[in-house]
């Protein structure tokens, strides 16, 4: 029988990660945060002193990606956000990461979160969720998360960065951020993490 694959896509700071991790635990499936792959590639490029928008440098970094890169502690924060979104627009980077993601999901089934899981990586996923929230709500959540990690940030700047990253992720030519035609939309603007998880689990169970 085909493995159970749950695709969780959506814009930045919509709560996908928390939701996908909890779904994976509830369903007994491995979890893959695919954003981490792009973040790790961006980090490798920055380490070499190169520009994350440099296609050759970014493609080389993607092909050299090793599991230990995903364990680095500096993959979150504004600089890593920008670098990830820049390398993610480069087709050769996406191509290098595609097999990696597919192999992960096919082995035992999985919950994967990202931007193009339901559209490109697993168009045949068992269940596709597209998780959104208003930009104001997402900016507020990201700001609180930064505060919680002791990172001082200006709320207006956080919102501007989110808008910029979403525009780039949705506007790129290859694998742009968009819901798959058969995705279930989950707007979490007015939901706390617990309520969002309960709704997501109900949507998944409807498809099993």
The distance of closest approach from Cβ of residue 64 to ligand C5P in the complex, given in angstroms and rounded to an integer, is 18
Please say which residue, 103 or 206, places its beta carbon nearer to ligand C5P. Answer: 103
Binding residues: 10-18
Q: Does 184 bind ligand C5P (CB under 6 A)?
A: no
Nearer to ligand C5P, 138 or 184 (CB): 138
Count residues near ligand C5P (CB under 6 A): 14
Which residue in the set 34, 119, 132, 188 belongs to the binding site for ligand C5P (CB under 6 A)?
34
In this structure, what token pair is assigned to residue 2?
């085909």
Alpha helices in the chain (DSSP H): 16-27, 34-47, 55-63, 78-87, 91-108, 135-148, 155-171, 193-206
Decide if 16 contacts 9 (C-beta within 8 A): yes
C-alpha distances out from residue 111 to 18, 24, 129, 180, Å: 12, 6, 11, 16
Instruction: Name the segment binding ligand C5P (CB under 6 A); options: 33-41, 54-62, 131-139, 156-164.
Output: 33-41
Tell whether residue 10 is a contact of ligand C5P (CB under 6 A). no
- Pick the binder of ligand C5P from 22, 39, 138, 141 (CB under 6 A): 39
Contacts of 17 (CB under 8 A, 6+ apart): 33, 35, 113
Residue 35, interface with ligand C5P (CB under 6 A)? yes
Restricted to residues 83-142, the positions that interact with ligand C5P (CB under 6 A) are 84-85, 88, 114-117
Q: At its nearest, how many Å lie between ligand C5P and the CB of residue 1?
A: 26
Q: Would you say how long the chain is, in residues?
A: 208
* Residue (85 or 188) nearer to ligand C5P, CB: 85
Handedness of CA 164, 166, 168, 171 (dihedral sign): negative
Q: Which of 135, 137, 142, 109 is nearest to 7 (CA)?
A: 109
Give binding residues for ATP as ranges. 10-18
Q: Which residues bind ligand C5P (CB under 6 A)?
A: 12, 34-35, 38-39, 84-85, 88, 114-117, 165, 169
């Amino acid at each position: 029988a085909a493995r159970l694959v749950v695709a969780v896509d959506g814009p930045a700071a919509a709560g996908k990660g928390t939701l996908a991790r909890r779904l994976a635990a509830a369903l007994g499936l491995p979890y893959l945060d695919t954003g981490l792959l792009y973040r790790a590639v961006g980090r490798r490029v920055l380490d070499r002193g190169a520009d994350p928008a440099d296609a050759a440098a970014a493609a080389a970094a993607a092909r050299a990606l090793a599991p230990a890169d995903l364990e680095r502690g500096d993959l979150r924060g504004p600089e890593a956000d920008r670098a990830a979104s820049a390398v993610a627009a480069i087709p050769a980077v996406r191509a290098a990461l595609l097999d990696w993601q597919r192999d992960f999901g096919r082995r035992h089934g999985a919950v994967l979160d990202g931007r193009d899981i339901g559209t490109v990586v697993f168009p045949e996923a068992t269940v596709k969720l597209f998780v959104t929230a208003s930009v104001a709500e997402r900016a507020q959540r990201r700001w609180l998360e930064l505060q919680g990690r002791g990172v001082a940030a200006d709320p207006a700047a956080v919102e501007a960065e989110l808008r910029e990253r979403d525009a780039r992720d949705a506007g790129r030519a290859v694998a742009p951020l968009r819901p798959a035609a058969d995705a279930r939309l989950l707007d979490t603007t007015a939901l706390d993490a617990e309520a969002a998880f309960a709704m997501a689990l109900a949507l998944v169970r409807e498809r099993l």
